[in-house]
Structure 1
Amino acid sequence: MKKLYLMRHGQTRFNLQKRIQGACDSPLTDEGIAQTQAAHDYFKEQGVQFDRIYSSTQERACDTAELVSGRTDYIRLKGLKEQDFGAFEGQQEYLNPPLQGDIGYGDYFVTYGGEDYMMVRLRMEATMRDILNNPDNQTVLVVSHGAAIAQFFRHVLTDYPRVRMRNCSILEFDYQDGQYDLLSIMDPVNREVLYQKETNNKRRKK
């Protein structure tokens, strides 16, 4: 059994300005840096130590990975990048089209030079599989992005939570034989459990 901690980066300037931020980048804000410290403290309190740390190649994820772990030996992978929103990059979020249920924006952005939801799902799943199939990786931290993370867990889980990815949210998975088991989603900034897997014991108590 392997352990995967998958988390979103801290708040960025574009998050604060409510701008569309996918393939483009913007730096962490002071609040974003404080959020990474909260995540760092959470992992320390839980006694979690990572064999390896992986990050999207984008600055906001790299900085989050470094600040959360206190390490600089993390590995940058393009497969963990955020969805590309094409010509909409850097524009105000109100220009986004309506969400299409659990597939996000579907293939809307392809016309404008971006990615569709299935492209994101497949590259995220392939990248994560390569990470977790490495025999040296027993406990890993992966830092990615809101839409990319949501598309990933919707792809690999049959029963997934309807939870919006807050900045620095942490998803804890068990992984074995190609199967992902989502145990919890934690918001370390507000010390709030956003999702907790229901155990058989809890079911019997109801």
Structure 2
Amino acid sequence: MTRRIFVLRHGQTQFNAEQKLQGHCNSPLTDKGLAQARSVGTELSKYLGERTYRVYASPLGRAVQTATIVCEQVGHCASEIVQDERLKEFALGEWEQRTIPSLVVEQPNLLSQSDWYLQAPQSESYQSVKARLLSWLNDLPADGDVVVISHALTGAVLRGALMDMSYEQVWEQDLPQDAFFMIENGVMNRIDCLVELETA
């Protein structure tokens, strides 16, 4: 049985909704983010079935919160989530807690480059993040599927490493919160998830 690696992003957070950069800062999931986590978990359960798997998460609150909800949906004990520092988001230096519109005012052409995030003063480098992700991959047990709940940018770099993408290809990827990616035998599939917001 070939290993499957499922790469998930946390659901929408308060900072996401406010177009505010998070990096190593944190904010809780919104109602939409909670619904996204539930729907991703529900869809993921269809792929896990009776297979053996482990769940890994970034230790940042938004990823742990998402991972806990996903575990509820797939029937996995949340206490067994393995939190690993190497799965954290890029540190975005002086831009953490800045809003994207305010940065665009200062740099009108900022968003023309797909890797614009990494222009933040004191930002963690691409090489640093890729190195910690490769270290994490190298330490995984040899057997069983892997479910990993991480972040937008770190998740893109992880998928790029698994698919042997170029730097440019990494930053051309989508960063969805209502979908996840399954990588098996060198093939990556995106699985979209129907998000239903609960109404009062």
Does TM, scored on the shorter chain, surpass 0.5?
yes
Q: What residue is the counterpart of 1:172 in the other structure? A: 182
8 Å CA contact 1:125–1:156 kept in 2: the answer is no
After TM superposition, the structure 1 = structure 2 runs for residues 139-158 of structure 1, keeping only pairs within 5 Å, are 139-158=145-164
Query: Would you say the 8 A contact 2:163–2:188 is kept in 1?
Result: no
Aligned to 2:98: 91
Contact 1:106-1:117 at 8 Å conserved across structures: no
With 139-148 and 34-43 compared, the bigger mean Cα shift is at 34-43
Q: Which runs of 5+ in 2 are unaligned?
A: 105-109
Residues 33-112 of structure 1 correspond to what in structure 2 (within 5 A)? 33-48=34-49, 49-70=51-72, 71-72=77-78, 73-94=80-101, 95=103, 97-98=110-111, 100-101=113-114, 104-105=115-116, 108-109=119-120, 112=121
Counterpart code for 2:11: G
Q: Structure 1 89/69 Cα, relative in aligned 2: closer, same or farther at 3 Å?
A: same
Q: 1:184 is matched with which residue?
A: 189
Q: 1:19 to 1:126 in 2, by over 3 A?
A: same
Instruction: Note if contact 1:58-1:81 (Cα within 8 Å) is conserved in structure 2.
Output: yes
Higher strand share: 1
Q: Which has the higher contact order (CA 8 A, sep 6+)?
A: 2
Deviations 1:4-36 (A, max 9, x none): 111101110000011011111110111111111
Give the match for residue 203 of structure 1.
none
Confirm or deny: 8 A CA contact 1:23 1:85 kept in the other structure. yes
> Offset at 1:149?
1.1
RMSD of equivalent CA atoms: 2.3
Letter in 2 for 1:188: C
The amino acid of 2:190's aligned partner reads I
Cα distance in 2 for partners of 1:106, 1:47 equals 34
Identity %: 25
Q: Give the TM-score of the pair, scaled to structure 1.
A: 0.77
SS class of match (2:116): coil
Of the structure 1 ranges 144-153 and 161-170, higher mean CA displacement relative to structure 2 is found in 161-170
1:80 Cα offset (Å): 0.3
Aligned to 2:107: none
Q: Which runs of 5+ in 1 are unaligned?
A: 176-180, 192-206
Q: Deviations over 1:58-92 (max 9, x none)?
A: 01101111111123110100100001101110110
Shift of 1:38: 0.6
Q: May I ask how many residue pairs the two structures share in their alignment?
A: 179
Out of 123, 129, 140, the residue aligned to residue 138 of structure 2 is 129
Partner SS state of residue 64, structure 1: helix
State the Cα distance separating 1:44 from its structure 2 match. 2.6
